[in-house]
A and B are shown apart, each in its own frame.
Chain A
Amino acid sequence: MTRALTLLRRRLVGSIFVLLIVVVGTFLLLEAAPGDAVDAYIVSTGGDAGMIELLRHRWGLDQSELTRLANYLWALLHLDLGQSVTFSRPIRDVILERLPNTLLLMVSATALSFGLGSALGIYAGARPGSFRDRFLSIGSLALYAVPGFWLGLVLIVVFAVDLRWLPIGGIETLASDKTGLDRAADIAVHLVLPVSALGFIYLALYLRMMRAGMAEVWRLDFVLAARAKGLSRRRIVLAHVARNALLPLVTMLGLQSAQMLGGSVVIESVFSVPGLGRLAQEAVAARDTPLLLGIILTSAVLVIVINLAVDIAYAFLDPRVGAGEAGA
């Protein structure tokens, strides 16, 4: 347990610096983009010079960049994410409203790609070079090569427009006033297509890693020993080969979480899911700097927490890792 605590403490200190860099970097990048929130706003309204000046003043855009950054960081110290100029609402509320949808999408898609990917990987890796191994490897590679939005559109055309088995998009039936289990079932039905589109792309990654890992482990001496002991092939595959090949997959899980957040931007747009990814896209278009900072900050915290969890899990799965670090 102390091993985990040491790791936790060390990581937390590092994380604060990471977050600071993320915030300042994003702020500067967005400032470098031409046009501000008022420019983005008047695209749809027009307006005279007086109105534009009024808006800039109201939204605090007449202050210098440095003042605004300092104000933002000061508010952040008090755990205040500020006010969104496009939503005229506290950013914390806007983000909390969307975060569950994105988390649901990400966790489900990760479960799908990791679960199915590693299972198929074990199935393929159990008999390296066999027909099923080749079939799965090529098939998953083809899926990996498909762009996410295209896969999403194909799924929509087939399952929502032609067959009408599943809803075309959204997170739940609009204005349906469903509650409790009914609502949960409704959300699950709505998640099938977006989760598939997002999950299938990363499935290939886990499948191939699992398979490659297993192929390597097969050659090791202890497998020979296990075989010599007279263990069943099934037991060798699951308890010895697969378990040892699983470790790099867990590392991948942490790294993938960041990529999955990026992938969800596209999937959320295609399936009209009101999530963080789509919100980020809208915030950039509207030049809503504090909102985008809030989203990036939330995502950064999310990725840090997931990777921390992965590291701790790793320390338990492979005792060598934690011991080495604690001794250093």
Chain B
Amino acid sequence: MSGFTISRRTMLAGSAMLLASTAMPTSGWAQTPKKGGRLVLAADSEPRNLNPAIVASNGVFFISSKIVETLAEASFDGKDGLAPRLALSWEGAADGLSVTFKLRDGVKWHDGKPFTSADVAFSALQIWKPLQNLGRTVFKDLAAVDTPDDLTAVFKFAKPTPFQLIRNALPALSSVVPKHIYEVGKIEDNPANNAPIGTGPFKFGEYKAGQYYRLTKNADYWGKDEPYLDEIIYQVLPDRTSAASALEAEEIQLAAFSAVPLADLERISKVPGLKVISKGYEGLTYQLVVEINHRRKELADVKVRQAIAHAIDKDFVVKTVFLGYAATATGPVPKNDPQFYTADVPTYAFDVAKANALLDEAGYKKGADGNRFSLKLLPAPYFNETKQFGDYLRQALAAIGIDAQLVNNDSAAHIKAVYTDHAFDLAVGPPVFRGDPAISTTILVQSGIPDGVPFSNQGGYKNDALDALIAKASETLDTAARTNLYKEFQKEVATDLPLINVAEWSFISVARDTVGNIANNPRWAVSNWADTYLAG
């Protein structure tokens, strides 16, 4: 058994399977896939609405991506980072006013009816655009979907829309649901939202609240010889310690989405028959961000924000809070993004003396008690790591004479305090980078967003130059020009610091050696698992 180490570089390179330090690394995988078997895995939450066309979130995808498919899926080696699913090809018009999808032939819904372009048109116009949490933004200018034949869907936009954005949005935003099921009655109340019907390799079996979800093999799946598994069972394990014990007791074979806490990984990696995998989440990067309320006069001063950036030891955070399973951040686009990332931005090295000097320069001298001023700090409670970073940040700020008062809330209270009531000075948030800055990243710094919108700029920040840049990028059709604008965007954010990006991380899977074809695409945990198998 070798020791378990991981470097940032290997993780970011996204190359080669990241070491599994198990006793028998060759047993079970890299074999020819075997048919049959029941895969049992841990689920830590129970989404009620399982319709991924309405709720595009990882919690929903985790289960329903096996049932309902998208037009395309993310891929390590496909063109533009995509692999075909329900669509075989996609072509954007030069004027940005239309995108043509050629659809897969011979695909059937789980109830036996044929899948056609009418289903795509219905999903896009009736669900993604008006109802979907992310689609409401990306498809806001979608005016019509023409269906010249059963296997062609032409998206028509009212305003020029960058094809690059549509392409990047496909893996998460393009779940297609059957028109014949949803055209009757109100879409939000459709029973299929709780028992989805799709085209995917698995059919929805049953859901026992508090116990499990059961998916069964779709014998009529379009993929040749796929799927390999007969059944997938998601066992609901609400307690943080349950997944690790259940893996050890061989009651489950897989725990994805870091269901096994980071602190347990070293121990569990030494258990014979279990492997720890940090690949397969490259398309689901979370960013550790210090959100700033610019209504506070001290924080409205860029020197103070720079001082805070200099006070944070990012390497220490990666090493201590994330136990190495993360990378330091330089700006609002993560380093592992293949299209947009640029390292050419101002950086803020860990330097307490410089931070103190900047604060002195800004006119906030230390008082008799050693403090310059006090701040309210609200760490988001969704992850252990965001809470722990909150504790770290409090100490880091104390070192430069800023007294931070920690305010701990549960999720609902935190969302309300930060994004509706603005009752914070600093907050720690984990926004998600979704493959294109226009999907959910620019909104973090853009001005003019109404109160109450979560994971958006609610810190009262307004920068006309940045707003203009964002607006220009949103209507730039040329891919290279658009990419360059987002590089400028990163530079501007890193210069003016509307928020401070500290680190980037994703999830870890722990699995039995017998589970094959794990982590073979950048969104593996939320992809369709048609080729996942159980050996021996």
Task: Compute how far the CA of A81 lies from the CA of B343 in the bound complex, rounded to whole angstroms.
Answer: 57
Q: A39-B415, A174-B40 are in contact. Are A278 and B249 (CB under 8 A)?
A: no
Residues of A within 8 Å of B329, CB to CB, are none
B348 CB → nearest A CB, Å: 28
B139 CB → nearest A CB, Å: 12
In the complex, chain A residues 161-178 whose Cβ is within 8 Å of any chain B Cβ: 161, 164, 167-171, 174-175
Q: Which residue in chain A gives the minimum CB-CB distance to B423?
A: A34
Task: Compute how far the CA of A168 lies from the CA of B249 in the bound complex, rounded to whole angstroms.
Answer: 8
Could you tell me if A47 and B251 are in contact, using CB atoms closer than 8 angstroms?
A: no
Residue from B205, B236, B245 in contact with A157 in the complex, judged by beta carbons closer than 8 Å = B245
Q: Which residue in chain B gives the minimum CB-CB distance to A58?
A: B188
Most chain A beta-carbon contacts within 10 A, residue among B206, B212, B410: B410
Scoring A residues 28 to 52 as 1 if CB is less than 8 Å from chain B, else 0, what string do you get? 0000011111011011111111111
Any B CB within 8 A of the CB of A241: no
Residues of A within 8 Å of B100, CB to CB, are none
Any B CB within 8 A of the CB of A80: no
Q: A43-B382, A47-B454, A88-B48 are in contact. Are A272 and B245 (CB under 8 A)?
A: no
Could you tell me if A43 and B251 are in contact, using CB atoms closer than 8 angstroms?
A: no
Any B CB within 8 A of the CB of A298: no
Could you tell me if B208 and A39 are in contact, using CB atoms closer than 8 angstroms?
A: no
Could you tell me if B412 and A285 are in contact, using CB atoms closer than 8 angstroms?
A: yes
Residues of B within 8 Å of A49, CB to CB, are 449-453
Residue from A34, A48, A168 in contact with B251 in the complex, judged by beta carbons closer than 8 Å = A168
In the complex, chain A residues 263-288 whose Cβ is within 8 Å of any chain B Cβ: 269-270, 272-275, 278-279, 285-287
Number of A-B contacts (CB under 8 A): 143
Any A CB within 8 A of the CB of B388: no
Any B CB within 8 A of the CB of A192: no
Q: Which residue in chain B gives the minimum CB-CB distance to A97?
A: B209
Residue from A46, A274, A286 in contact with B211 in the complex, judged by beta carbons closer than 8 Å = A274
Residues of A within 8 Å of B236, CB to CB, are 272, 274
Any B CB within 8 A of the CB of A243: no
Q: A45-B57, A86-B48 are in contact. Are A174 and B233 (CB under 8 A)?
A: yes
Q: A98-B210, A161-B249, A164-B249 are in contact. Are A43 and B411 (CB under 8 A)?
A: yes
Residues of A within 8 Å of B400, CB to CB, are none
Q: Which residue in chain B gives the minimum CB-CB distance to A84?
A: B48
Residue from A40, A153, A286 in contact with B241 in the complex, judged by beta carbons closer than 8 Å = A153
Task: Compute how far the CA of A175 lies from the CA of B211 in the bound complex, rounded to whole angstroms.
Answer: 9
Scoring B residues 197 to 218 as 1 if CB is less than 8 Å from chain A, else 0, what string do you get? 0000000011011111010000
Residues of A within 8 Å of B231, CB to CB, are 175
B383 CB → nearest A CB, Å: 11
Could you tell me if B209 and A34 are in contact, using CB atoms closer than 8 angstroms?
A: no
Could you tell me if A47 and B209 are in contact, using CB atoms closer than 8 angstroms?
A: no
Residue from A168, A275, A287 in contact with B245 in the complex, judged by beta carbons closer than 8 Å = A168
Could you tell me if B194 and A272 are in contact, using CB atoms closer than 8 angstroms?
A: no
Task: Compute how far the CA of A172 lies from the CA of B421 in the bound complex, rounded to whole angstroms.
Answer: 45
Residue from A51, A161, A171, A275 in contact with B136 in the complex, judged by beta carbons closer than 8 Å = A51
B202 CB → nearest A CB, Å: 14
B441 CB → nearest A CB, Å: 12
Any A CB within 8 A of the CB of B246: yes
Q: A40-B412, A52-B452 are in contact. Are A46 and B251 (CB under 8 A)?
A: no
Q: A51-B136, A168-B249 are in contact. Are A44 and B239 (CB under 8 A)?
A: no
Q: Which residue in chain B gives the minimum CB-CB distance to A287?
A: B412
Residue from A36, A42, A168, A285 in contact with B246 in the complex, judged by beta carbons closer than 8 Å = A168
Task: Compute how far the CA of A153 lies from the CA of B239 in the bound complex, rounded to whole angstroms.
Answer: 10
Could you tell me if A171 and B248 are in contact, using CB atoms closer than 8 angstroms?
A: no
Any A CB within 8 A of the CB of B102: no
B275 CB → nearest A CB, Å: 18
Any B CB within 8 A of the CB of A87: yes
Scoring B residues 57 to 84 as 1 if CB is less than 8 Å from chain A, else 0, what string do you get? 1110000000000000000000000000
Any A CB within 8 A of the CB of B229: no
A172 CB → nearest B CB, Å: 8
Could you tell me if A39 and B382 are in contact, using CB atoms closer than 8 angstroms?
A: no
Q: A48-B137, A161-B248 are in contact. Are A43 and B211 (CB under 8 A)?
A: no
A180 CB → nearest B CB, Å: 19
Any B CB within 8 A of the CB of A156: yes
Residues of A within 8 Å of B410, CB to CB, are 35, 285
Q: Which residue in chain A gives the minimum CB-CB distance to B46?
A: A282
Any A CB within 8 A of the CB of B242: yes
Residues of B within 8 Å of A88, CB to CB, are 48-49, 189, 193-194
Could you tell me if B233 and A43 are in contact, using CB atoms closer than 8 angstroms?
A: no
Residues of A within 8 Å of B245, CB to CB, are 156-157, 160-161, 168
Any B CB within 8 A of the CB of A252: no
Residues of B within 8 Å of A175, CB to CB, are 205-206, 212, 214, 231, 233
Residues of B within 8 Å of A279, CB to CB, are 210
Could you tell me if B411 and A285 are in contact, using CB atoms closer than 8 angstroms?
A: yes
Having A49-B450, A169-B246, one finds 5 other A-B pairs with CB under 8 Å, namely A39-B413, A175-B212, A175-B214, A269-B238, A274-B210
Closest A-B pairs by Cβ, 10 of them:
A274-B210, A35-B412, A40-B412, A35-B416, A34-B413, A49-B450, A39-B412, A47-B133, A45-B133, A43-B411
21 CB contacts below 8 A, A to B, read A34-B417, A35-B410, A35-B411, A35-B414, A36-B412, A42-B454, A43-B412, A44-B58, A46-B57, A48-B133, A49-B451, A157-B245, A174-B40, A175-B214, A270-B239, A272-B236, A272-B237, A272-B238, A272-B242, A274-B236, A285-B411
Chain B residues at the A interface, C-beta cutoff of 8 Å: 40, 45, 47-49, 55-59, 131, 133-134, 136-137, 188-189, 193-194, 205-206, 208-212, 214, 231, 233, 235-239, 241-242, 245-246, 248-249, 251, 382, 409-417, 420-421, 440, 449-455
